[in-house]
Amino acid sequence: MPQKLKHLLSTQSLKKSEIEEILALAKEMEPYAKKEKQGNQMKGKILAALFYEPSTRTRLSFETAMLRLGGETLSVTDVNTSSITKGESLIDTAKVISQFADIVAIRHSQNGAVNEFSKGSSVPTVNAGDGTSQHPSQALLDAYTIQKELGKIDGLTIAISGDLKYGRTPSSLAFLLSNYNIKFRFISPKELKMKPEVITHLNRLKTPYEQTQNFEKGMKDVDVLYMTRIQRERFENFKEYERLKNVYVLTKKIVLKNNPKMIIMHPLPRVNEIATDVDELKNAVYFRQVENGIAVRMAIILTRFL
């Protein structure tokens, strides 16, 4: 691999041209993602999916993307049983694993762990989520879904609700969409307000945003309502989790009352924060995000080798 390695570590590090390249290529990948065609673009190549924090959905999405492009996969899911528990550094792990695989998708429970891994890796490294920090492939599939459902990204108003403090998805998405002409509305309890680094970033860019605790007001007039789960695993204080977990619950009635036209997104898994009667609405797009995710991850994989 003589050229400079094309890691995908964060949405901040993506240029707008790179985002657009991935979104365009994802569109071409749809027939493969939809099981209409079998690819061979990755024939003879191996993706290592290193999931040091469990995530069935994201792991299988990356593996599916690789398999449907004709590639092969290696999986590590034994969180507590890897070399890591023997005390090896992530840089050493990377030096080893990158000799096996042609590309690595890695998830880790600690912020910055994927960055650290990438320093030792001799192959492209894709951040599949690290701690409360980043989840760039999710943000890219979210942007792709918005563009596909609404025909554009520029000019939209996007509400992001839920746990904006610990969630990696809201901040990853906000950073990514700040490349576009967007208005944000951040809906959260005051304990879970959007991370300061996102706020600072948007202020610097003069990207307009509002912050509110009022769920129903927050969703009025937006084009997109992006819901997130209050993640138990991010709370050190279980009582605080219990108090906040059901703070926002979207129902069909609430959608129809406040904004029947907005598209409703969610990175999944959802627990109680979206009632199942919302699923019936044709603008509930969260399960379509999954399909888009395969196509987008195909594009992420392919662009690592361009």
Return residues touching its own copies (CB under 8 A).
35, 38, 43-44, 46, 48, 54-57, 60-61, 63-64, 67-68, 72, 74-79, 81-83, 85-89, 92-93, 95-97, 99-102, 229, 231-233, 268-272, 276, 287, 290-291, 294
Provide, rounded to whole angstroms, the least separation between the CB of residue 239 and its own copies. Answer: 18
Q: Which residues are catalytic?
A: 57-58, 86, 107, 135
129 or 218: whose CB is closer to its own copies? 129
DSSP letters for the chain? --SPP--B--STT--HHHHHHHHHHHHHHHHHHTTSS---TTTT-EEEEEESS--HHHHHHHHHHHHHTT-EEEEE--TTSSGGGGT--HHHHHHHHHHH-SEEEEEESSTTHHHHHHHH-SS-EEEEEETTTB-HHHHHHHHHHHHHHHS-STT-EEEEES-TTT-HHHHHHHHHHTTSS-EEEEE--GGGPPPHHHHHHHHHHT--EEEES-HHHHHTT-SEEEE----GGG-S-HHHHHHHTTS--B-HHHHHHH-TTSEEE--S--SSSB-GGGGGSTTB-HHHHHHHHHHHHHHHHHHHT-
In the bound state with its own copies, the residue whose beta carbon lies nearer, of 250 and 294, is 294
CB closer to its own copies out of 222 and 295:
295
Nearest CB to its own copies, comparing residues 35 and 253: 35
What minimum distance in Å lies between the beta carbon of 74 and its own copies?
Answer: 5
User: Are the C-beta atoms of residues 160 and 138 closer than 8 Å to each other?
Assistant: no
How far apart are CB 43 and its own copies at their closest, in Å? 7
Q: How far is the CB of 171 from its own copies (least distance, A)?
A: 19
CB of 204 to its own copies, least distance (A): 34
> For residues 76 and 153, which CB has a smaller minimum distance to its own copies in the complex?
76
